[in-house]
Amino acid sequence: MPVPCDGVGQREGTAPTFKVDGVWCRKPLDVIKRALSEPSAELFHLAPFRSYWNTPDGTKERLFGETYTADVFLEEYEKICEARREKGDTATETVVIGLSLSSDSTHLTSFGNAALHPVYLYLTNQTKYNRASPSALAAHHLAYLPKVLWLSWFQS
C-alpha cells in the first residue's frame, strides 16, 4: 500500500510502499448486504424522518439523537429520490444507509503482548439503543489490523 507523507506532494504511484502482513478485511459492501439480510434489519429505519417533541406550552421542539433524523441524512435521501424520479424510475425503493466505524485493542493471549485491532462497522439505521446492546450483535467485523499497522496510522 502506498504510504502518505505529510507535507510532501507526490503522486500515489511514486509514493513508497509499506507491506504489512496479517491484515484481514472484508469488502464493506458485502458487510452491508449481510447486515441488511439479518433478522435485526426488520427494525432498521430505512426512511429518514424528523422527530419533534410537543412541549408543555404547546410548541414543537425538534429532537436530534439518531443519525436517520439528521438534516444531512434527509438531504441525501431527497437527492437520491430526485435523481431516481428524473430517470423515470418509480418502482425502486430508495434507502440511505448510515455507517459508523469503531476499533479497539484485543489481546490474543493470557501472557505477552500479542494483540489485534478489530475494526467494527455499525449501520446507524438501527437505533442507538439497540446498537449499544451487546445482545443485538450490531457490530460487524470489517477488518483486523495487526499492532504495527495500527501504530503507524495513529501515532503520527
Reported confidence tier of residue 66, pLDDT bands at 50, 70, 90: very high
Q: Are residues 102 and 34 in the same domain?
A: yes
Q: What is the pLDDT of residues 15-65, one digit of tens each?
A: 777 776 777 889 999 999 999 999 989 999 999 999 999 999 999 999 999
pLDDT score of 14: 76
Give how many domains the chain has, as a whole number: 2
What is the domain range of residue 132? Answer: 1-7+15-44+98-156
102 & 153 share domain: yes
What's the pTM value of the predicted model, to 2 decimals? 0.74
Same domain, yes or no: 22 and 51: no
Same-domain pairing of 67 and 131: no
Q: How confident is the model at residue 153 (pLDDT cuts 50, 70, 90)?
A: low
Q: Is there a single domain that holds both residue 69 and residue 139?
A: no
Do residue 64 and residue 131 come from a single domain? no
The answer to whether 146 touches 21, Cβ cutoff 8 Å, is yes
Question: For 9-13, what is the mean pLDDT?
Answer: 71
Question: Does residue 104 share a domain with residue 39?
Answer: yes
Q: Which of 90, 93, 95, 97 has its CA nearest to residue 47?
A: 95
Together in a domain, 28 and 105: yes
* Statement to judge: residues 104 and 40 lie in one domain: yes
Say whether both 71 and 2 belong to one domain: no
Across the chain, what does the average pLDDT equal?
85
Does one domain contain both 105 and 28?
A: yes
Question: How many Å apart are CA 117 and CA 144, to the nearest integer?
Answer: 6
Long-range contacts for 119-124 (Cβ within 8 Å, ≥24 apart)?
Answer: 119/25, 119/143, 119/144, 119/145, 121/28, 121/31, 121/32, 121/35, 123/32, 123/35, 123/36, 123/44, 123/97, 123/98, 123/99, 124/66, 124/67, 124/68, 124/98, 124/99, 124/100
Same domain for 78 and 145? no
